[in-house]
């Protein structure tokens, strides 16, 4: 056994020492694998980033109330009386005697994107005073809050980055109305950062919404108050609403997108992976063919086939691991935290998010490269082991 | 007499298949090689000299017949056992030397010892000794590329004797060398036979080289004879 291991070590050492003579093909194969892993990690980090954005937006002790039958804010409608009844339900948190219920309406406006100059959809949300108690991670980072009752807005940091003309102090003209940008806000990377906010009471007449809203966000006294709150609303004959935890709502909203990106990403990375696999196979087949006489000589001297096989796979693994690690680190350096925007498939407006290259993804990427390495070395190694020594010595 | 026989082939047949065609290379071939002999195998190109040598080396198996070396039936050994047997009992010398180009002369010579349980120091000693015998101590650190053909073949021979096998099998060891350099190699083989007691089987197509041996056998139509048929 010891002898077997030392054979493996010795043969692997010989293999590695021949690499400089075939640096070109070894390098090409490493670059191929690095590329695959970089793409794999980068693409999947988009899915992770979007999930994280959605998670940051949700909070377990916040509930979302929509009209029964509505599957998103877009298709929901609530009236002022609904909001009042919701505020009276048990389990609602209060601050200074005011129920933390944030009735909101939501329109979609068009603004030019910085990247392309073409228009894209931006969510324009009307809110009332309790919003800051409910969406409590929203913080003004530049300027100030808009003034209630005025044509003023605050813009999310993501929207500011994504669209032109949203700097503090500028005005945006939408239809008949002009809005002044009073400040910029953040929400820990949550979905709100893709939006523009104003006073609901100003937005309603501008869009002929009367006194209607679309959804109400409710801060609960505690996460445990949810069932009580939900039962009270859904059994109240005066209301026709459905209640969801905000976390569930956003998880559902992002599911399609996450799935799409994961499937597409895996497909692209898979195809590239296949390419890299053929590259690795080619490298090792070439290496083995070029060294057929050497391998035959070693076997003639008494080296066994299995150490030959293992040593070739080890070499392939080593090349693949180097390539994979470089690729994963490149993706991490280039994309982690990189901000981008995508379409929210439910509201058809832009969601900005940051690529999220996490440790798990890096490990998955490197594991991919290991697989390519093993398979890329296995078949050439088997060929080398099978070739009869006497034949290889004649032909070499 | 039989105690003194190192190699014994009995009724050996070797047939290769190439597609549907069968090539009968060796036919009912028998051979005894006594311990300490320097045997030269001659014969026209394609007559099966290398095939016969490969069978004796355990690199290939006979289609039929027995091959007994030092009392062991190597035709019945499994591949893995055969590899170990080769490492212990035969030294191989090739026409084109077959050195590993990335290794120095001494590392090339050391290769067969990696299969033994010898310590590092013992291996070094054996390698130095073998290089000394072939007269290449001063070239120990050189890689094959920086050595002449004759020097490379000396390294090849040092590798064949380093694990102290009694049987040395050489397939056209001077085939790639000029006459003068080849003569040096033949001197060396002769010395190994006379002074170090090696049993040597050398394939050659060169009558001049064959003269150095104790006995010449001709391979023709799959059979051995002592005379080149007229
Ligand atoms: N592995 C093999 N497969 C098919 N034919 C072979 C193989 N090895 C040798 N032969 C054939 O056997 C014959 C003898 O070859 P070989 O022993 O190399 O001859 P020599 O060494 O005397 O020149 C040749 O016709 C050769 O083509
Ligand atoms: Mg031959």
- ipTM of the predicted structure? 0.93
Q: Give Cα A292 to chain centroid, integer Å.
A: 47
Contact call for residues A101 and A200 (beta carbons, < 8 A): no
Q: How far apart are CA A352 and CA A50, in angstroms?
A: 8
- Classify residue B12: in a domain, yes or no: no
CATH number for position B114: 3.40.50.300
Query: Does A293 touch chain B if contact means CB atoms closer than 8 Å?
Result: yes
CB atoms B60 and A7 under 8 Å:
no
Helices (H), chain B: 49-57, 79-89, 105-110, 120-134, 149-161, 179-195, 207-210
Closest residue (by CA) to atom 5 of ligand 1? Answer: B16
- Look at A17 and B98 and tell me if their CB atoms are within 8 Å: no
Contact A299 B100 (CB under 8 A): no
CB atoms within 10 A of CB A140: 15
Give A388's contacts in chain B (Cβ within 8 Å). 60
pLDDT at A351: 67
pLDDT at residue B1, rounded to an integer: 41
Q: Do B102 and A293 touch (CB under 8 A)?
A: no
Contact B22, B195 (CB under 8 A): no
Rg (C-alpha) for chain A, rounded Å, is 30
pLDDT recorded at residue B112: 94
Quick check: CB of A395 below 6 Å from ligand 1?
A: no
Which residues fall within 8 angstroms of residue B57, CB to CB, at 6 or more apart? Answer: A300, B86, B90, B92, B169
Q: Is B25 in the pocket of ligand 1 (CB under 6 A)?
A: yes
pLDDT of chain B along its 230 residues, tens only? Answer: 445 899 999 999 999 998 899 999 999 999 999 999 999 999 999 999 999 999 999 999 999 999 999 999 999 999 888 988 999 999 999 999 999 988 999 999 999 998 888 999 999 999 999 999 999 999 999 999 999 999 999 999 999 999 999 999 999 999 999 999 999 999 999 999 999 999 999 999 899 999 999 999 999 999 999 876 54
Query: Is B95 a pocket residue for ligand 1 (Cβ < 6 Å)?
Result: no
Query: How many angstroms separate the first and last alpha carbons of chain A?
Result: 30
Q: Return contacts of B74-80, CB within 8 angstroms, 24+ apart.
A: B79/A305, B80/A304
Cβ-Cβ contacts under 8 Å for B20 (sequence gap 6 or more): none
Ligand 1 contact, B11 CB (< 6 A): no
Helix (H) or strand (E) holding B170: strand B167-171
Closest to A114 in 3D by CA, of A168, A172, A180, A163: A163
C-alpha to C-alpha distance for B188 and B181, rounded to whole angstroms: 11
Instruction: Give the Cα separation of A394 and B172 in Å (integer).
Output: 13
Q: How many whole angstroms separate alpha carbon B135 and alpha carbon B133?
A: 5
Distance B54 CA to ligand 2 centre (A): 10
Instruction: Give the span between the Cα atoms of A9 and A19, in whole angstroms.
Output: 16
Residue in B with minimal Cα distance to A386 = B79
Decide: residue A121, CB within 10 A, 0-12 exposed, 13-18 middle, 19+ buried. Answer: middle
Give CA–CA dist B51/B7, Å, rounded. 16
Which of A18, A23, A297, A307 is most worth mutating to test chain B (most B CB atoms within 10 A of its CB)? Answer: A297
Q: Can you give the residue ranges of every domain in chain A?
A: 2-55+253-395, 69-239
A265 to chain B, closest Cα gap in Å? 43
In the DSSP assignment, the letter for residue A55 is H
Please check whether residue B146 lies inside any domain of the structure: yes
Which residues of chain A register pLDDT less than 70?
A: 1-2, 341-351, 395-396
Please state, in angstroms and rounded to a whole number, the distance separating the CA atoms of residues A200 and A162: 24
Q: Which chain A residues are Cβ-neighbours of B60 within 8 angstroms?
A: 388-390
Contact A7 B57 (CB under 8 A): no
Are A340 and A323 in contact, with CB atoms under 8 Å apart?
no
- B210 alpha carbon – ligand 2 mean position (Å): 15
Distances, alpha carbon B187 to alpha carbons A370, B51, B96, in Å: 53, 25, 19
Measured distance between the N- and C-terminal CA atoms of chain B, rounded to whole angstroms: 32
**Are A140 and A154 contacting, i.e. CB atoms less than 8 angstroms apart?**
yes
Give the domain range for residue B170. Answer: 35-61+78-225
Backbone angles phi, psi at A341, to 5 degrees: -125, 150
Residues in B 90-149 with any Cβ partner in A closer than 8 A? 92, 94, 98, 100-103, 111-112, 114-115, 117
Q: Evaluate: CB of B44 within 6 angstroms of ligand 1.
A: no
d(CA A164, CA A162): 7
Say how many CA atoms lie within 13 Å of B75 toward its Cβ. Answer: 19
The enclosing H or E element of A303 equals: none
Evaluate: CB of B51 within 6 angstroms of ligand 1.
Answer: yes
CA-nearest of A67, A58, A55, A57 to A216 is: A67
| Ligand 1 pocket check for B48: Cβ under 6 Å | yes
* CB of B56 sitting under 6 A from ligand 1: no
Which residues of chain B does A302 touch, with a Cβ-Cβ cutoff of 8 Å? 83-88, 112, 115
CB neighbours of residue B5 within 10 Å: 16
The alpha-carbon gap from A395 to the nearest alpha carbon of chain B, in Å, equals 12
Neighbours of A4 (CB within 10 A): 12
**Confidence at residue B77, expressed as pLDDT on a 0 to 100 scale:** 94
Please answer yes or no on whether B98 and A297 come within 8 Å at the CB atom.
yes
CA distance A344 to chain B (A): 59
Ligand nearest to the CA of B43: 1
The pTM is what?
0.72
A5 contacts on B by Cβ (under 8 Å): none
pLDDT computed for residue B230 by the predictor: 43
Q: Do residues B57 and B51 make contact, with C-beta atoms less than 8 angstroms apart?
A: no
Q: How far is the CA of A14 from the centre of ligand 2 (A)?
A: 28
- B-chain CB neighbours of A17 within 8 Å are 102-103
What letter does residue B200 receive in the DSSP assignment? E
- Is B16 within the bounds of a domain? no
User: What Rg value do the Cα atoms of chain B yield, rounded?
Assistant: 17
Q: Do A393 and B79 touch (CB under 8 A)?
A: no
Q: Judge whether A389 is closer than 8 Å to chain B, CB to CB.
A: yes
Q: Is residue B82 a part of any domain in this protein?
A: yes
A55, burial (CB in 10 Å: exposed 0-12, middle 13-18, buried 19+) = middle
User: How many Cβ atoms are within 10 Å of B120's Cβ, its own excluded?
Assistant: 9
Whether A372 contacts A273, CB under 8 Å: yes
Alpha carbon separation from A242 to A57, A223, A381, B73 (Å, rounded): 20, 17, 62, 87
Substitution target from A300, A308, A396 for chain B, most B beta carbons within 10 A = A300
Number of separate domains in chain B: 1
Angle between helix A23-57 and helix A246-290 axes, rounded to 10 deg: 180
Q: Within a domain: residue B66?
A: no
- Do the strands A94-95 and A98-99 form a parallel or antiparallel pair, or are they unpaired? antiparallel
Residue A201: closest CA among A103, A83, A339, A269: A103
A386 and B CB contact within 8 Å: no
Residue A228, SS3 per DSSP: helix
User: Long-range contacts: B134-138, Cβ < 8 Å, 24+?
Assistant: B134/B158, B134/B188, B135/B188, B136/B105
**CB-CB neighbors (< 8 A) of A3 in chain B:** 115, 117
Of B25, B54, B219, the residue with max ligand 1 atoms within 8 A of its CB, to mutate for a pocket test, comes to B25
């Amino acid at each position: 056994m010891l002898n077997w291991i030392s054979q493996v070590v010795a043969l692997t050492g010989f293999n590695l020492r021949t690499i400089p003579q075939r640096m070109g093909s070894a390098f090409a194969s490493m670059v191929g694998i690095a590329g695959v892993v970089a793409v794999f990690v980068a693409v999947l980090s988009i899915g992770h980033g979007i999930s994280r954005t959605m998670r940051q937006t949700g909070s377990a002790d916040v509930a979302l109330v929509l009209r029964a039958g509505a599957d998103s804010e877009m298709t929901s409608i609530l009236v002022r009386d609904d909001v009042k009844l919701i505020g009276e339900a048990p389990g609602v948190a209060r601050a200074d005697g005011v129920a933390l219920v944030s009735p909101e309406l939501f329109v979609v406006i068009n603004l030019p994107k910085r990247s392309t100059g073409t228009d894209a959809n931006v969510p324009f949300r009307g809110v009332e005073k309790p919003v800051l108690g409910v969406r409590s991670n929203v913080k003004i980072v530049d300027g100030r809050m808009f003034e209630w009752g005025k044509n003023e807005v605050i813009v999310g940091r993501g929207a500011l980055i994504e669209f032109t003309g949203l700097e503090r102090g500028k005005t945006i003209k939408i239809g008949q109305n002009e809005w002044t940008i009073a400040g910029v806000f953040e929400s820990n990377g949550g979905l709100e950062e893709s939006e523009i906010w104003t006073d609901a009471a100003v937005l309603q007449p501008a869009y002929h919404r009367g006194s209607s809203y679309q959804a109400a966000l409710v801060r609960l006294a505690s996460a445990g108050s949810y069932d009580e709150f939900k039962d009270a609303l859904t059994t109240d004959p005066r209301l026709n609403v459905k209640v969801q935890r905000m976390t569930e709502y956003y998880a559902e909203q992002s599911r399609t997108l996450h799935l799409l990106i994961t499937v597409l990403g895996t497909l692209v990375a898979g195809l590239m992976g296949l390419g890299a696999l053929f590259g690795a196979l080619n490298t090792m087949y070439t290496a083995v063919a070029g060294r057929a006489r050497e391998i035959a000589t070693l076997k003639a001297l008494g080296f066994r086939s299995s150490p030959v096989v293992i040593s070739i796979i080890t070499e392939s693994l080593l090349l693949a691991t180097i390539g994979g690690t470089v690729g994963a680190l490149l993706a991490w350096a280039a994309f982690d935290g990189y901000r981008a925007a995508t379409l929210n498939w439910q509201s058809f407006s832009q969601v900005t998010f940051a690529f999220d290259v996490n440790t798990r993804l890096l490990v998955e990427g490197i594991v991919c490269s290991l697989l390519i390495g093993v398979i890329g070395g296995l078949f050439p190694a088997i060929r080398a082991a099978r070739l009869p020594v006497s034949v290889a010595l004649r032909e070499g | 007499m039989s105690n003194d026989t190192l190699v014994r082939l009995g009724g050996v047949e070797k047939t290769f298949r190439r597609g549907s065609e069968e090539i009968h290379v060796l036919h009912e071939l028998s051979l005894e090689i006594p311990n300490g002999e320097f045997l030269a195998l001659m014969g026209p190109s394609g007559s099966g000299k290398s095939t016969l040598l490969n069978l004796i080396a355990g690199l290939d198996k006979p289609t039929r017949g027995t091959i007994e070396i030092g009392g062991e039936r190597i035709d019945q050994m499994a591949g893995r056992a055969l590899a170990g047997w080769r490492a212990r009992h035969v030294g191989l010398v090739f026409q084109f030397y077959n050195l590993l180009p990335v290794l120095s002369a001494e590392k090339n010579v050391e290769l067969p010892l990696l299969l033994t349980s010898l310590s590092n120091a013992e291996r070094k000693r054996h390698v130095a000794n073998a290089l000394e015998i072939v007269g290449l101590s001063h070239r120990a650190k050189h890689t094959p590329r920086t050595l002449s053909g004759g020097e490379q073949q000396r390294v090849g021979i040092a590798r064949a004797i380093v694990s102290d096998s009694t049987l040395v099998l050489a397939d056209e060891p001077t085939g790639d060398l000029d006459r003068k350099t080849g003569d040096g190699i033949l001197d060396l083989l002769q010395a190994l036979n006379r002074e170090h007691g090696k049993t040597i089987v050398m394939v050659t197509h060169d009558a001049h080289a064959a003269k150095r041996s104790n006995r010449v056998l001709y391979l023709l139509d799959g059979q051995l004879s002592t005379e080149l048929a007229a």
